[in-house]
Structure 1
Amino acid sequence: MNNSGKGSRHLSTYIDRTVNDVYAYASDPANLPAWARGLGESIEKIEDHWVAESSPMGRVVVTFAPHNELGVLDHDVTLPSGETVYNPVRVIASGAGSEVVFTLRRGPGMSDTEFERDVGMVAADLARLKELMESGQGSYSGSGGSM
């Protein structure tokens, strides 16, 4: 079955760390290889963009929303084909901790199998982020702002 680009799925995880901690760590593109392995094992800043050369999709360019007080981690991923994929992500308060919500959108012509593969990859990325943050390994050391 192919739903031709229709639909999305909201994937989320609770993290027992403050919104400020999670946002500060996850909003620093230099930390992406540690938790968002779908974007590759390394990333570097080239001019005004972050580039992952070793992504499973080839060379991709990642552009984050500017730092903000709302927990918005939206980012665009520009694929080698030139196509840009918009990825809405939020860090929201949940009691003493936070919840990270990633809205995965089905791409045009994407089969159910391909979509479910991407769901699994995003779920694994969120689980790694949770593990890093709750174990204390996910500490923010960048120069960006906090919420």
Structure 2
Amino acid sequence: MENIASESRHVSTHIARTAKDVYDYASTPSNLPQWAHGLGNSIAGIDGQWIAESSPMRPVVVAFAPQNEFGVLDHDVTLPSGETVHNPVRVIVDGTGCEVVFTLRRRPGMSDEDFQRDADAVTADLATLKQVMERA
């Protein structure tokens, strides 16, 4: 079996709140529309699944890593096509604040423009998370 590495980009932001505060907020699916606009503008728990509504992608299913003490916010997004995209995310203690790191992976066949568009969306989402958490 051939093992081909995909291209990854780490997008991060520092937040002046404890890692626990940020993890608790960001790991609550109902909070996603307040900060993760790239994923959707609404989310609902339906039949044991979280369904995010987004104009450009149509409804997607979002499955989160189990609650944990390590700051792992990984989530899988199943697109309408049936493709599932794994999104590694970490909340890392940094002094009295934290750093949130999202690993963006280029999907097969993704153009440079689409990869950059995804990176820009993640950057905007993390900036919004920072803004929400630092004004709370």
Q: What is the TM-score when the length of structure 2 is the normalising length?
A: 0.94
Question: Secondary structure of 1:24's partner?
Answer: helix
Match of residue 110 from structure 1: 110
- Partner Cα distance (2:30, 2:103) in 1: 22
Give the residue type in structure 2 aligned to 1:49. Answer: Q
AA of the residue aligned to 1:116 = Q
After superposition, where does 1:21-60 map in structure 2 within 5 Å? 21-60=21-60
Q: How many residues align?
A: 133
Letter in 2 for 1:118: D
- Is 1:65 the counterpart of 2:65 in the alignment? yes
1:18 corresponds to which letter in structure 2?
A: T
State the alpha-carbon separation in 2 of the partners of residues 51 and 19 from structure 1. Answer: 26
1:41 is matched by which residue type in structure 2?
Answer: N
Alpha-carbon deviations, 1:31-68, whole Å to 9, x = none? 00010001111100012210013342111000000000
User: How far off its partner does 1:90 sit?
Assistant: 0.3
Q: Which stretch shifts more, 82-91 or 33-42? A: 33-42
Mapped to 2, the partners of 1:78 and 1:96 lie a distance apart of: 35
SS of 1:30's equivalent in the other structure is helix
Which residue is equivalent to 2:91? Answer: 91
Within 1, Cα distance between the matches of 2:54 and 2:91?
27
What RMSD in Å do the two structures reach over aligned CA positions? Answer: 1.3
> Where do 5+ consecutive residues of structure 1 fail to align?
137-147
**Aligned mates of 1:114, 1:54 — CA distance in 2:** 17
Q: Secondary structure at the match of 1:43?
A: strand
Aligned partners of 1:22 and 1:133 also within 8 Å: yes
Find the residue that maps to 2:12 and give its secondary structure: strand
Q: What is the CA–CA distance in structure 1 between the aligned matches of 2:116 and 2:63, rounded to whole Å?
A: 25
SS at match of 1:80: coil
Provide structure 2 residue ranges, at least 5 long, that are not aligned to the other structure.
none
**TM-score, normalized by length of structure 1?**
0.87
Which amino acid letter does the alignment assign opposite residue 56 of structure 1?
Answer: P
Residue of structure 2 in register with 1:79 after alignment: 79
Q: What is aligned with 1:142?
A: none
| Shift >3 Å, 4+ stretches | none
Q: State which drifts further: 88-97 or 44-53.
A: 44-53
